[in-house]
Chains A and B, each alone.
Chain A
Amino acid sequence: MSSLQFDIAHLLAGSLVLASFMMLYQDRLYALLNVYALHAGVLALSVAWQAYVQQAPHLYVTALIALVFKAIIIPVALHRIIRRLGIHREIENVIGVGLTMMAGIGLVALSMVVMLRVTPDADALAREDLAFALSVVLLGLLIMVTRRNAVSQVVGFMSLENGLVLAATGAKGMPLVVEISVAFSVLIAFIVIGIFLFRIRERFDSVDVQALDRFRGERR
């Protein structure tokens, strides 16, 4: 592998982490969705580049799924859901933006330390990819933890899935079964979410998870 190929792969995977950071501080739902679309777009590019570098044509399918399904269809659909539900207010971050960003930086550092240390023998590209992928996964978790709104939690979860796809494509020669399954599971997950959102719409006036929390715990 030439160093240019490596650099581009590195750049794309790094951009994905950056996009995750951008999602951390979005305080409006529409903006969050737009950044998520960007996130999925970067993922598609990254996967396509891996397909080219590894000469693994089946990965182009994964890239295409990421582009069409995650970067276009899901954000558009969620846009419509948000509009229909009439929730365009600000997202409440549980903790402040500054703290969230610091926590995010800490998580990225953690994943670098863990992944780079345990994979000294793997080839450089796979190592870096795994480290970035773990960062994206952890940042996705952080997004889910810091949000109260059901839609933004789902977006956080989807960004987490993007990290998994990055890891799966970085692992050279990983069987296609898994990639399709990842894409497929996102699809199922989305259907489930869709149903849930509509049910929630039927029963509640808002999709704020805090509203759900009222019913938490023991019924009295």
Chain B
Amino acid sequence: MMDALGAILLIPAISAALLALLPGYKLTAKLNVLAALATFLTSLSLFVIEPTSGQYLLLDDLNKVFIVLTTFVSFTTSVFSASYIHHEIETGRLTPAFLRFYHAMYQMLMFAMNLALIANNIGLMWVAVEVATLTTVLMVGIYRTHEALEAAWKYFILGSVGIALALFGTILVYMAARPVVGEGMDGMVWTVLVKHAAQFDPALLNVAFVFLLLGYGTKVGLAPLHAWLPDAHAEGPTPISAVLSGLLLNVALYALLRFKMMLAVNSAAITPAPLMVTMGLISVVFAALMLYRRRDIKRMFAYSSIEHMGIIVFAFGMGGPLANFAGLLHMTMHSLTKSAIFFAVGHIAQVKGTQKIAEIGGLTATSPALGWGLMLGVIAIVGLPPLGIFMSEFLVVSSTFARAPWLTVILVLGIIIALGGLFLRIGPVMFGEPRGKTAPAEASYVPMFTHLGLVLMAGIYLPPMLVTGFQNVAKLLG
């Protein structure tokens, strides 16, 4: 069976093997871009010819959105990565041998994320998330400095614990399914599970969901379980920070949503809403407060990612067609904006030779394109009009205000606190006295401005096709 679904797994897998073997970083960087582009184009073909879902692979409206977003951001990030690593080689922070490994791991990560998104088997999905975690652990530690190793170690330990809890939850789901769908493979096939979930033992499903929420929630970076996230973002190569924030958090969220859909079918089981809403709100407020004392620019945007994942989980937790729609839109906008910000931050850190906020200043004067690009990204991420995040945040707030006014007030408060924190920190970086080195930037602006352009466009005009697509998914999510 060699259809598009197989292809979006095979292309990254083969490229990973190829990139591990080929020498010469200029060639492999190009190949990396090419492979990512091929995967993206293949994912677009899913709209034209719809492959049939089997026992292992699945395609529906929900994961189509995730797949296209993932492959698109992977592609643009690979373009950014090519110019980023060029600089890293020149300054000697990375050696060619490490780059070979880096590119292979990049494609491996693409493979794992795509597999997690299209797996129809909850066991397979778990394996894919685990592989994605391990590859990113290796990439976070690639600089081999004290800080990078500590970040990778922390990420590895916390990620493994999370993934272990998720596996326990997966086993419990199988236990709940066994009396109904029988022993063997069927007990793990998602489409079968969701069809029969109404007859599952609700108590067992409840416990399973708690484990799954804790497990995959660790990977989403929800507040009490987020400790790995800022370190991993700050110490790894910036393309990986972009992929982590923009994509991997979404993949873990996708796994959670699948199980939420399963629970929704069973009327006797708990509704996951209060759990998700609480964790989402805690993440928003906590991360917003943490923004004020950040000294490292990448770490600051990592906290902003926690905040936005909190908003998204809050929206999905509230549920209903409108809030789900808002959550999906916010997720898409956040992926695009945050990766654009990391593209800018990556080049800025290279130009200035530091990530410390105190040592970067007056960017709009010294490197206008990067400075204004980042400024635009920050304006977008704090949720100011007319950019896309304003619209999605507005939708989240307005769709939930009638149902839970007090919760929404907390959410809005969190968003405003975050706005203050980000502007307070980013002001001197943008408009202050020029500080740090002012070498001309050899940056690739195309990925950054493409993302920001899309976000701006979404804020002004959403194509009706996208709207109906998202509405279908929102209905599916219940």
Contact = CB atoms under 8 A, between A and B. Distances in A.
A160 B294 contact: no
Q: Most chain-A Cβ atoms within 10 A of its Cβ — which of B123, B126, B184, B206? A: B123
B149 interface: yes
B179 A219 contact: no
B127 interface: yes
B475 interface: no
Interface stretch (A40-48, A66-74, A181-189): A181-189
Nearest to A118: B203
B164 A119 contact: no
B152 A121 contact: no
A157 interface: yes
Interface string B205-236: 01100000000000000000000000100000
A172 B178 contact: yes
A175 B184 CA distance: 5
B157 A153 contact: yes
A141 B161 contact: yes
B221 to A, nearest CB: 17
B137 interface: yes
A123 to B, nearest CB: 10
B165 to A, nearest CB: 8
| SS of A interface (majority) | helix
Q: How large is the interface on A (under 10, 10 to 19, 20 to 34, 35 or more residues)?
A: 35 or more
Nearest to B177: A171
Interface string A188-210: 11001101100110111000010
A185 B127 contact: yes
Contacts of B157: 144, 153, 157
A10 B146 CA distance: 46
Contacts of A185: 127, 130
B146 A215 contact: yes
A57 interface: no
Interface stretch (B18-26, B41-49, B168-176, B370-378): B168-176
Contacts of B153: 150, 196, 200, 209, 212
B171 A167 contact: yes
B168 A192 contact: no
A160 B161 contact: yes
A144 B165 CA distance: 14
Given A178-B171, A196-B152, 16 more contacts: A122-B175, A126-B175, A133-B168, A134-B168, A144-B161, A153-B157, A161-B164, A174-B174, A178-B170, A188-B131, A192-B137, A196-B149, A199-B149, A203-B149, A204-B146, A219-B356
Closest 10 A/B residue pairs (Cβ) = A173-B183, A118-B203, A178-B123, A212-B150, A215-B146, A181-B127, A218-B295, A167-B171, A175-B185, A215-B150
Interface of B: 121, 123-124, 126-127, 130-131, 134, 137-138, 141, 144-147, 149-150, 152-153, 156-157, 160-161, 164-165, 167-168, 170-172, 174-175, 178-179, 182-185, 187-188, 201, 203-204, 206-207, 231, 294-296, 299, 356
20 contacts: A121-B179, A122-B175, A122-B179, A144-B157, A161-B164, A172-B183, A174-B188, A175-B184, A175-B188, A177-B121, A177-B188, A178-B123, A188-B131, A192-B134, A196-B149, A199-B149, A216-B231, A218-B296, A219-B147, A219-B296
